[in-house]
């Protein structure tokens, strides 16, 4: 079993296991779900449906399978036996002991539908993504410079097993395309789909134009939409919606595309080493997506639904990320440069003016995350070093 680093989701996992007879942990393959669940519940039986004979047992004799684990179990890769959820419903209705079954699933496609139909009201749902920077730095081999971190990405096997990042990401991508996508959706042309993923990587941190994306990939607008949904529901990308509520300006409403792992982007863009990334034309976009990913994980791993948006007006004013927390708004810019300049801060005042003319929260926390090493409070915003990215939303917890 992979070595365990403390994950921020543990308190929420334990909390839900005290409420519900079933807790479901979903997320991308290789994010650490199995390791997390086995380490958190070391005395609970473990069974994986990846094993063909075990899967056949669960599919052909679900009652007999569950009788083997009457006292509860961690059932790994539950999407491999989707019919099992219906039998679990009967089992936990008869004995609704909290925390009796912990289920994990890598593919969100059919899993969410199965769970919602069979276990509604009986289970807690959580998502585990690859570690954020604060979690990742607990590995002895964690990088100490920004470009190595961005290039390697955050998947734990790279650090736990010391597998060269480029090799691991190549294998991960091949497995994803050849196995996972084929299992859950009918993609007839896997070569075209692979090209589509690479085109998406080149558009990370850009607004989504499905017509242009489909045209470049040689597929229809509807196919591009469907394929993008596949990437999103398998946790490879996130569509960051535009924020335009109550602001009567020429506001762009297209969502932005962000990959959730910078290492995967670098692999798909054929960036072969960290130094190449330092001078790459998409360096700023990759850094922006990394910042968005860190903010996304910060909320997901608290068991919360992310409330992230971006903002752009057609005449130029934009804000990379907005986090609406009800009584206040976090306005965040991502700048990969290591030296702060006045341009970093120029958008905050006009954006505050826009918000001041609406019924939205007027208390705004401004922050710039940059590629430098020193964090400090400036007059208009907090300047946050890349390695302190986890501090952005933490101020919310202590106020």
Contact 253, 244 (CB under 8 A): yes
pLDDT of residue 359: 63
Distance (Å, rounded) from C-alpha 186 to C-alpha 207?
27
Same-domain status, 164 and 118: no
Sign of the C-alpha dihedral, residues 300, 303, 305, 308? Answer: negative
Q: Quick check: is 184 in a domain?
A: yes
pLDDT of residue 22: 94
At 396 the pLDDT is: 45
Q: What is the pLDDT of residue 397?
A: 45
Q: Please indicate, yes or no, whether residues 108 and 144 belong to a single structural domain of this protein.
A: no
- Note the pLDDT of residue 282: 98
Structurally, the chain folds into a number of domains equal to 2
CA distances from 169 to 29, 145, 165, 230, 390 (A): 12, 20, 6, 19, 25
The pLDDT of residue 251: 67
Query: Tell me, what's the pLDDT at 3?
Result: 58
| Radius of gyration, alpha carbons of the chain | 22
pLDDT at position 246: 54
Residues 162 and 263 in one domain: yes
Same domain (yes/no): 155, 70: no
Q: 3-class SS at 186?
A: coil
pTM for the structure as a whole: 0.93
Q: What is the CATH number of the domain that holds 41?
A: 3.40.50.300
Please report whether residue 195 resides in a domain. Answer: yes
Domain membership of residue 1 (yes or no) is no
Residues found in the chain? 399
Query: Tokens 């964690």 identify what position?
Result: 142
Q: Domain range holding 211?
A: 134-398
Angle between helices 108-118 and 221-233 (to 10 degrees): 70
- pLDDT means per 10 residues, the chain with 399 residues, are 80 96 92 95 95 94 94 92 88 93 78 72 91 96 96 96 94 84 72 91 96 93 91 92 67 89 97 96 98 96 92 88 87 97 94 76 89 94 96 62
């Amino acid at each position: 079993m992979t070595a365990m680093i403390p994950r921020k989701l543990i308190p929420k996992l334990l909390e839900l296991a005290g409420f519900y007879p079933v807790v479901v942990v979903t997320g991308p393959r290789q994010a650490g779900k199995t390791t997390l669940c086995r380490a958190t519940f070391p005395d609970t039986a473990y069974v994986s449906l990846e094993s063909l004979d075990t899967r056949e047992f669960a599919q052909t004799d679900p009652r007999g399978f569950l009788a083997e684990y009457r006292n509860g179990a961690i059932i790994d890769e539950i999407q491999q036996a989707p019919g099992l959820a219906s039998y679990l419903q009967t089992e936990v209705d008869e004995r609704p002991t909290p925390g009796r079954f912990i289920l994990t699933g890598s593919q969100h496609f059919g899993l969410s539908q199965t769970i919602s139909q069979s276990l509604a009201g009986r289970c807690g749902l959580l998502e585990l993504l690859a570690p954020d920077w604060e979690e990742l730095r607990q590995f002895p081999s964690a990088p100490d410079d920004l470009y190595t971190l961005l290039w390697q990405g955050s998947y734990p096997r790279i650090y736990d097993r010391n597998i060269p990042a480029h090799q691991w990401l190549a294998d991960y991508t091949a497995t994803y395309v050849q196995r996972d996508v084929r299992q859950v959706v009918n993609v007839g042309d896997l070569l075209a789909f692979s090209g589509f993923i690479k085109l998406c990587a080149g558009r990370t941190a850009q607004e989504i134009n499905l017509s242009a994306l489909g045209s470049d990939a040689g597929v229809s607008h509807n196919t591009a939409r469907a394929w993008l949904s596949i990437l999103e529901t398998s946790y490879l990308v996130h569509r960051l919606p535009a924020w335009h509520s109550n602001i009567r300006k020429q506001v762009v409403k297209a969502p932005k595309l962000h990959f959730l792992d910078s290492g995967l982007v670098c692999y798909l863009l054929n960036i072969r080493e960290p130094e190449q990334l330092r001078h790459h034309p998409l360096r700023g976009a990759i850094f922006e997506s990394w910042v968005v990913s860190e903010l996304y994980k910060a909320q997901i791993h608290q068991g919360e639904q992310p409330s992230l948006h971006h903002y752009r007006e057609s005449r130029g004013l934009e804000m990379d990320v907005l986090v609406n927390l009800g009584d206040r708004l976090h306005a965040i810019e991502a700048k990969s440069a290591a030296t702060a300049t006045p341009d970093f801060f120029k958008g905050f005042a006009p954006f505050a003016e826009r918000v001041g003319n609406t019924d939205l929260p007027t208390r705004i926390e401004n922050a710039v995350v940059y590629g430098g090493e020193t964090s400090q409070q400036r007059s208009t915003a907090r300047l946050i070093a890349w390695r302190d990215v986890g501090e952005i939303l933490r101020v919310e917890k202590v106020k």
